[in-house]
Chains A and B, each alone.
Chain A
Amino acid sequence: MIEVLNFGLAALILGLAVWAIVAREAPAAVVGFIVYGLLLTLVWLQLRGIDVALTEAAIGGGLTGVLLISAAVRLRSTESAFRAQRPAASTRWLAAVLAAAVTGALAICVLALPEPAPTLAPEVLANMAVTEVENPITAVLLAFRAMDTLLEAIVLVFALIGVWSLAPDLAWGGRPGPLQVADPNGMLAYVARVLPPIGIVAGIYIFWIGADHPGGKFQGATILAAMWLLVMMAGLADAPPVSRRWLRWLLVAGPLVFIAIGVVGAVTANAFLAYPQGFAKPLILAIEFALMPTLTLVLGLMLLGAPRRGKSP
């Protein structure tokens, strides 16, 4: 029975992937992509990768979906002009062949994997006691492969700098996103008052539970960022100007604390990002606490886009 469901799920995902490519209108393709992300969440659940499923739902489905929707809305005015200058048939065929070749190569690689696939999972489980956390994913992300997580956090800050650098000169240092006028009796304003208390608790819960169960800072930060965006979209609060000192400090605080702890490790534990014996859990928690506001702000501000409104008002 479950095989039938799995097969149906795989067929649906493949169908949606094709739909997202062949759909003529950008919004239709985006909707296809969002549903694709949500179905991938179910696949990860089936594979018992609950952490990945949470991340896929929060970032792959939710956050990327909103980003793509706003991109599609922005492109709407130029879309027909763009479609008029359709590339030549040979170019399109070449693109199709290249894309198919990449897919084929990936499929061959996956199918050629030895059975069982090579894995470091037993070693992680054998050494997990050292880290004092109970969720193996967190142990990998913040102890065994902490370098990857550090670079990830830095890349996110760089991405935000990239988004900001698209601002026109006049708006530099100003507030990102359009000015939202609140409708005090509107449905959105109502939800923006009711939902954030629940969402903030859920976000912090998912962040905190990450040490021992599926969850963690990325998923929690996405929920917090969503609550922040909701309040701003409803016009109840305005986005901060990007020139604010506190904002910039919070944006770099996470990676800075991470690097500082890494350097301390180099002195006390003989390796960059190594934790001294017995201090693993508190240091991991310190890094998570420092990264949380950074991630929340980066994810929220990235969705708001480049500064658009001048500094003055």
Chain B
Amino acid sequence: MSTTTYRAYAHPLWRRLLLTREAAVIALVVIVSLWAYSNVPYFGDTLTLTYLLLDTTTILLIALPMTLVIITGEIDLSVASVVGLSSATMGLLHEHGVGMALACLIALAVGVVCGAFNGFLVGYVGLPSLAVTIGTLALYRGVAVGLLGTTAVTDFPKDWTSKASQVIGSSGVPSVMIVFAVLAVLFILLLHFTPFGRGVYDIGLSSEAATFSGVSAKRTKLLLFVLTGAVSALAGVYFTLRFGSARGDNATGLELQVIAAVLLGGVSIFGGRGRLPGVIAGVLLIGVISSALRLQGVTANVISIIIGLLLVLSVISTPVLARLSDVAARRSRARRSGPGPQTVVSQ
């Protein structure tokens, strides 16, 4: 009974699906890919897919935990510095004869520590994450560059580095995507199908209300920053192996690319709204556009202008989309229930 009443007032499912940012971004990925397939020479190669995925893996990985952090209304600007620090740590350990497996594990542990430090300052001390992570952005990068100086460690064993750009059979899909797929499923389950995930949204909508309903904002934030640190360090390990080069300045500036992709995917910078499938589509959209434009011979600054405009448009489109679905809902309500109480109020 109550379901029918709800249905009478809610938008139909197709409209709810179509008028979401995720749907728009996913549709854009498909449209741009199809356009590029028929218009851009070489875009149809399997190699394009391989390079596109290899190039976006770092961003894809970090975007997962970053989405959760931004949904709580916080931000982590130190991710790229953690990538650099994890890379430098690996390089330094390898240089001193530590085995590869152990070096990777220690690099991951460094990421966990970095994340925990951010999380402690934000969650337990209560400092604003923007300020904290601007600080740790500089701090972690400084340590990373300090560890290796201007040198790069490059003599990693071939069997490790080749794994980073290996492709599954003849599919063109890099093996590293399996790691990403597993993590993506875990993060989607965590955010969209657990009480913890609902808590993440609650904190983003109202931290106080969340606390009253039994969600520990402190613990949640700490855990999310630790996850971000760990995944960034993992991305650092991948980055190092893919390029066979450990440098303290690896991935400089990557944090903004990650955040741009997350916002493009429909996550609100104010927290409380956004879904992981949209974010993954957002990262892929940027990847597909840059790849197609590069194959067209478009230079980096123009690509960056186009992606910047797209991001601005997507931010503008959020209130427009909300407005559209609002108008549509009001109309259908008016049609179904005649002059209802809302109309009276508005007069």
Report if A and B associate in a common complex: no
- Give the interface of A toward B (CB within 8 A): none
B residues sitting closer than 8 Å to A (CB atoms) are: none
